[in-house]
Amino acid sequence: MRRLRLGFVILIVTMASIFTGTLTAFAVPALGYVIAPEGYRISVPLGYSVDRVLTGDYENGMLKNPEDLFIDSRDQVYIADTANNRVLKMDKFGKILKVFGTKEDKLNLMEPRGIFVEDDGDIYIADTGNNRIVHLSPEGQMIEKFVAPKSDLIDKDFPFMPTKLVLDRSGNMYVTSGNDYHGLLVIDGQNQFQGYIAPNKLKFNLKDYILRKYATKEQREALGKVVPPNHRNVTIDLNSGYLYTAIENTTIDEIKRFNFLGINTYPADKHYGEFTNRRGIITSPNVVDVSVDKDGIITTVDSNQRKVYQYDQEGNNLLVFGGNGDQTGFFQEPVSVANDSEGLLYVLDRARGEVQVFRANHFASLVHKGSRLYYDGRYEEALQPWREVVNIDSNYIFAHRGIGKALYKEQKWKDAMAEFRLGEDMGSYSNAFREYRHETLRHQFGWIALIIAVMGAALYYSIVALTAYSRKVLASPAGSGNPSIQNAILTIFAPREAFYRIQSAPRYMPVIVLVLGMLAARFFHIYFTSFHFNLTRPEFADFYYEVAQLIVPFFLFTASAWMITSIMDGESKFKQILAACSYGVIIPYIIGTVAQALMSHVLSRDELSIYNGISTVTYCWMGLCVFFLIMTMNDYTVGKTIWVIVISILTAIALLLVGILFYILMQHVIDFFKEVFLEVYISGF
Amino acid sequence: MLRRWLRIISWVLVIGFCAFFIYKAEHFQIARNALGDGKEPDPQPVAKEIVDKLSNLAGYAKVSENDRLSLYFEPVTSSIAVSDKTTGATWMSASNITDEALGGSELLKNSVRAPLNLTYADISRPVQDPLYTNSITLPPKISKEDIDKGIRVHYDFDKLGISFAIEYTIEADRLEVYIPAADIKEKTSNLLVSIEILPNLGSGTDKDKGYMFYPDGSGAISYFKETHPQYKDRYSATVYGSEDVLKRTSQRVENAYLPVFGANKNGNGFVAYVTQGEFESKINYYPSGYTVNLNRVSGEFFYRRFYDAAIRRGEFSQRVEKDLMPVDHRLRYVFLPKDHSDYSEMAKAYRSYLIESGKLQKRIADGGKEIPAAINLFMGIREDNVLSKQFLKITTFEQAKKFLQELNTAGVNAMSVVLEGWMKDGLGDFPDSDQVSSELGGRAKLTDLTKYAKDHQIDIFLDFNNVDAFDRNLGFRKNIDVMKSPSKLALEDYYGFWYLLNAERAWTKFMGSQAKTLAGYDASGISFAEMGSIALADYNEYHPFTREGTVQKWLEMMKYSREQNGKVAVYGGNSYVLGTADRLMDIPLHDTGYVYSDEAVPFYQMVVHGYIPYSGDLPMNSHYDSRELFLKWVEYGSMPYYELTYAKPEEFRYTFYSDTLFSSSFDQWSPFLIQQYKELNKKLGHTWSQEIESHRIITRDVYETTYGDGTKVIVNYSSLPYKSTGVEVQPKDYIVLKQEG
Q: Considering the domain delimited by A42-360, tell me its CATH architecture.
A: 6 Propeller (2.120)
Domain spans of chain A, in order of start: 1-25, 42-360, 373-443, 476-666
> Is there a single domain that holds both residue B654 and residue B585?
yes
Tell me what the mean pLDDT of segment B34-41 comes to.
51
- In this predicted structure, the answer to whether residue A186 has a pLDDT above a threshold of 50 is yes
What's residue B41's pLDDT?
Answer: 63
Q: Does the distance separating the beta carbons of B488 and A682 come in below 8 Å?
A: yes
Q: Are A583 and A490 contacting, i.e. CB atoms less than 8 angstroms apart?
A: no
Between the alpha carbon of residue A116 and those of residues A86, A259, A337, A596, B150, the distances in Å are 14, 20, 13, 59, 67
Q: Are B296 and B199 contacting, i.e. CB atoms less than 8 angstroms apart?
A: yes
What's residue A641's pLDDT?
Answer: 92
Q: Are A416 and A407 contacting, i.e. CB atoms less than 8 angstroms apart?
A: yes
In a domain, B327, yes or no: yes
- In this predicted structure, the answer to whether residue B608 has a pLDDT above a threshold of 90 is yes
**Torsion angles phi and psi, residue A291, rounded to 5:** -145, 155
What's residue B419's pLDDT?
Answer: 93
Nearest residue, CB atoms, A394 vs list B489, B571, B648: B648
Between CA B355 and CA A65 the distance in angstroms is: 50
* Beta strand residue intervals within B618-721, DSSP E: 641-644, 692-699, 702-707, 712-716
Between CA B44 and CA A610 the distance in angstroms is: 90
Between CA A621 and CA A584 the distance in angstroms is: 9
In a domain, B721, yes or no: yes
> Is there a single domain that holds both residue B661 and residue B698?
no
- The answer, for A548 touching chain B at a CB cutoff of 8 Å, is no
> Is there a single domain that holds both residue B703 and residue B645?
no
AA letter at A662: F
In a domain, B227, yes or no: no
* pLDDT tens string A32-84: 888 888 888 888 888 898 988 998 888 888 899 999 999 998 999 999 999 99
> Is there a single domain that holds both residue B181 and residue B56?
yes
What's residue A24's pLDDT?
Answer: 29
* pLDDT tens string B359-380: 999 999 888 889 999 999 999 8
- In this predicted structure, the answer to whether residue B235 has a pLDDT above a threshold of 90 is yes
Give the DSSP letter string of A427-464: HHHHHHHHHHHHHHHHHTHHHHHHHHHHHHHHHHHHHH
* pLDDT tens string B377-425: 999 888 776 666 778 899 999 999 999 999 999 999 999 999 999 998 8
Q: Are B446 and B422 contacting, i.e. CB atoms less than 8 angstroms apart?
A: yes
> Is there a single domain that holds both residue B308 and residue B392?
no
User: How many CB atoms lie under 10 A from the CB of residue B439?
Assistant: 14
From chain A, the residues in CB contact with B319 under 8 A are none
Confidence of residue B249 (pLDDT cuts 50, 70, 90): low
What's residue A18's pLDDT?
Answer: 35
> Is there a single domain that holds both residue B671 and residue B736?
no
Q: Which of A492-496, B178-182, B261-265, B361-365 has the lowest mean pLDDT?
A: A492-496
Between the alpha carbon of residue A66 and those of residues A80, A139, A354, A429, A555, the distances in Å are 6, 22, 8, 48, 64
Q: Does the distance separating the beta carbons of A395 and B658 come in below 8 Å?
A: yes
Question: Which of B662, B688, B714 finishes a domain?
Answer: B688
Question: Which of B324, B356, B388 finishes a domain?
Answer: B356
In a domain, B17, yes or no: no
In a domain, B28, yes or no: no
Percent of chain B whose pLDDT exceeds 70: 96
3-state secondary structure of A527: helix
**Torsion angles phi and psi, residue B300, rounded to 5:** -125, 135
- In this predicted structure, the answer to whether residue B476 has a pLDDT above a threshold of 90 is no
Whether omega for the bond prior to residue B431 falls within 30 degrees of 0, making it cis, is yes
Q: Are B678 and B623 contacting, i.e. CB atoms less than 8 angstroms apart?
A: no
Contacts of B151 (CB under 8 A, 6+ apart): B63, B64, B71, B73, B144, B145, B167, B168, B169
- The answer, for B2 touching chain A at a CB cutoff of 8 Å, is no
- The answer, for B663 touching chain A at a CB cutoff of 8 Å, is yes
AA letter at B353: Y
Q: What is the mean pLDDT of chain B?
A: 89
- The answer, for B667 touching chain A at a CB cutoff of 8 Å, is no
Q: B654-663 in b/e burial notation, b at 16+ Cβ within 10 A?
A: bbbbbbbbbb
Contacts of A379 (CB under 8 A, 6+ apart): A373, A402, A405, A406, A408, A409
> Is there a single domain that holds both residue B298 and residue B446?
no
Nearest to B100 by CA among B92, B91, B109, B111: B109
What's residue B250's pLDDT?
Answer: 59
Say how far residue B424 (Cα) sits from the centre of its chain: 33
What's residue B40's pLDDT?
Answer: 58
Confidence of residue A26 (pLDDT cuts 50, 70, 90): very low
The residues in A 449-488 lying below 8 A from B, measured between CB atoms, are none
Task: Give the pTM.
Answer: 0.86
AA letter at A410: E
* pLDDT tens string A626-641: 999 899 888 889 999 9
Between CA A426 and CA A404 the distance in angstroms is: 12
In a domain, B109, yes or no: yes
Identify the residue among B251, B383, B542, B658 best suited for mutation to test binding to A, counting A beta carbons within 10 A and taking the highest. B251
- The answer, for A343 touching chain B at a CB cutoff of 8 Å, is no
Work out whether the CA dihedral B133, B137, B138, B144 comes out positive or negative: positive
Left if phi > 0, otherwise alpha if psi is -120 to 50, otherwise beta: which for A61? left
* pLDDT tens string A453-501: 999 999 999 999 988 888 888 887 766 678 888 888 888 888 888 888 8
* pLDDT tens string A640-664: 999 999 999 999 999 999 999 999 9
Q: Does the distance separating the beta carbons of A5 and B468 come in below 8 Å?
A: yes
Confidence of residue A569 (pLDDT cuts 50, 70, 90): confident
Q: Domain count of chain B?
A: 3
> Is there a single domain that holds both residue B668 and residue B646?
yes
Question: Which of B646, B668, B688 finishes a domain?
Answer: B688
* pLDDT tens string B43-101: 778 888 888 888 888 889 999 999 999 999 998 889 999 999 998 889 999 888 887 78
* pLDDT tens string B620-654: 998 888 899 999 999 999 999 999 999 998 888 88
Between CA A173 and CA A189 the distance in angstroms is: 8
AA letter at A211: L
Nearest residue, CB atoms, A546 vs list B386, B468, B541: B386
The residues in A 48-87 lying below 8 A from B, measured between CB atoms, are 49, 55-58, 62-63
User: How many CB atoms lie under 10 A from the CB of residue A482?
Assistant: 8
> Is there a single domain that holds both residue B514 and residue B544?
yes
What's residue A7's pLDDT?
Answer: 44
Tell me what the mean pLDDT of segment A405-428 comes to.
91
Tell me what the mean pLDDT of segment A373-402 comes to.
90
- In this predicted structure, the answer to whether residue A587 has a pLDDT above a threshold of 50 is yes
What's residue B247's pLDDT?
Answer: 73
The residues in B 394-433 lying below 8 A from A, measured between CB atoms, are 427-428
Q: Are B298 and B196 contacting, i.e. CB atoms less than 8 angstroms apart?
A: yes
Q: Which of A218-227, B477-486, B581-590, B652-661 has the lowest mean pLDDT?
A: A218-227
Return the number of CB contacts < 8 Å for A and B.
174
Angle between helices A508-528 and A543-567 (to 10 degrees): 140
A179-188: which pairs have CB atoms within 8 A and are 24 or more residues apart? A179/A227, A179/A230, A180/A155, A180/A230, A181/A227, A181/A228, A181/A229, A181/A230, A182/A155, A182/A158, A183/A231, A183/A262, A184/A231, A184/A234, A184/A243, A184/A245, A185/A149, A185/A154, A185/A160, A187/A133, A187/A146, A187/A149
Q: Which of B244-248, B446-450, B610-614 has the lowest mean pLDDT?
A: B244-248
What's residue A23's pLDDT?
Answer: 27
Nearest to A54 by CA among A358, A258, A401, A297: A358
Tell me what the mean pLDDT of segment B431-446 comes to.
90
B165, β-bridge pairs = B154
Q: Are A156 and A105 contacting, i.e. CB atoms less than 8 angstroms apart?
A: no
Q: Does the distance separating the beta carbons of A394 and B663 come in below 8 Å?
A: yes
3-state secondary structure of B709: coil
Q: Are strands B583-585 and B567-571 parallel, antiparallel or unpaired?
A: parallel
Q: Could you tell me which CATH number the domain at A373-443 has?
A: 1.25.40.10
* H-type alpha helices, A21-149: none
Task: Tell me how close the Cα of A653 comes to any Cα of chain B, in angstroms.
Answer: 27
- The answer, for A671 touching chain B at a CB cutoff of 8 Å, is yes
Nearest residue, CB atoms, B229 vs list A13, A62, A328: A62
- The answer, for A19 touching chain B at a CB cutoff of 8 Å, is no
Task: Tell me how close the Cα of B322 comes to any Cα of chain A, in angstroms.
Answer: 13
In a domain, B19, yes or no: no
What's residue B29's pLDDT?
Answer: 60
- In this predicted structure, the answer to whether residue B36 has a pLDDT above a threshold of 60 is no
Between CA B288 and CA B268 the distance in angstroms is: 19
Q: Which domain holds residue B656?
A: 373-688
Nearest CA in chain B to A681: B488
From chain B, the residues in CB contact with A421 under 8 A are none
- The answer, for B232 touching chain A at a CB cutoff of 8 Å, is yes
Between CA B394 and CA B649 the distance in angstroms is: 9
What's residue A2's pLDDT?
Answer: 42
Q: What is the mean pLDDT of chain A?
A: 86
Between CA B53 and CA B96 the distance in angstroms is: 10
Q: Report the CATH number at residue B322.
A: 2.70.98
